[in-house]
Amino acid sequence: MVFGQIAFSFGKEKWSGELTVQYPLGYELSKKDACQKASLKAKLNSMTMAGCETITQNKYRSCKSSNDQTRCEFFSETFNAFNGCFIKSFNILDENPDAKTPENDDVCEVKAQVSVAGFESKHDPSFLLSINEDMETIFSDGQGFLIQGKVHQPSYVYILGWYPDSDEGYYHTVFPSNSGSIKFNGEFDIPEMEALFPKDFKKDEVNEFIIVLATKTPLNMKSRELIEEFYKRLDDYDRQNWRIVRVGYRIVR
């Protein structure tokens, strides 16, 4: 079994300001969905303007052979932008689902006020987390899968899910399945994962993402939490006390 350690390079830049972004409407994309994607794009653009570092290793691995690679890579880019910085505040000032480009293409246009903050503290270089690089990233509906990893100190491990096609503004705690905490030391296996295709989703594939979080002490996890609030809590918790690894995957019909 091969474990790959992911190294993080955190910037100190901070940025705040107004952004206006557009996201195109498509045959299978409603105005509501386009506006949600425009909001994600605004967050991604603000991270770029703040100079935040992104993970490059295996960023788009789950997008290979995708029927909608552009959409898959957009979600992956957004997910991995939350690396050295986090969105401190995000307020939509105006949303126009009937906007037009100069070429007369239909788009949703979102104007937002965004504040980006860098994490205040540094990681403990001896507190490391890695996951199995050979993990599958394409699943069928109902397929179970295993997350294998390694911590280099006794750690509490949590798994969070991000489902941008159905609940793009929130993270969901999926392990442990209750409100408790489970401690690991060395290699660990988390077998309670199941890939479930969302009900009433019209496309033939869905993009989902996992955060593996290791902490030195138990952390009070919420079953569903705004992404901005999650990262602000991590910043308060102090970066020397936690590590994160991110994984993207696809579920196909």
Per-residue pLDDT of 201-253, as tens digits, reads 777 888 888 889 999 999 989 999 998 899 888 888 888 999 988 888 888 88
pLDDT tens profile 108-119: 999 999 998 888
* Most confident by average pLDDT, 36-40, 49-53, 193-197, 220-224: 220-224
Domain boundaries, the chain: 15-118, 121-252
Provide the CATH topology of domain 15-118. Dodecin subunit-like (3.30.1660)
248: left (phi over 0), alpha (psi -120 to 50) or beta: beta
Residues 6+ apart with CB under 8 A from 251: 139, 140, 141, 143, 195, 196, 197, 205, 206, 208
Q: Which of 207, 174, 243, 201 is nearest to 29 (CA)?
A: 201
Cα–Cα distance for residue pair 108/32, rounded to 1 Å = 8
Query: The whole model's pTM is what?
Result: 0.78
Q: Which CATH code fits 121-252? A: 2.60.40.2550
Average pLDDT, the chain: 82
Do 15-118 and 121-252 agree at the fold level? no
Question: Which secondary structure element, helix H or strand E, spans residue 244, and what is its range?
Answer: strand 242-252
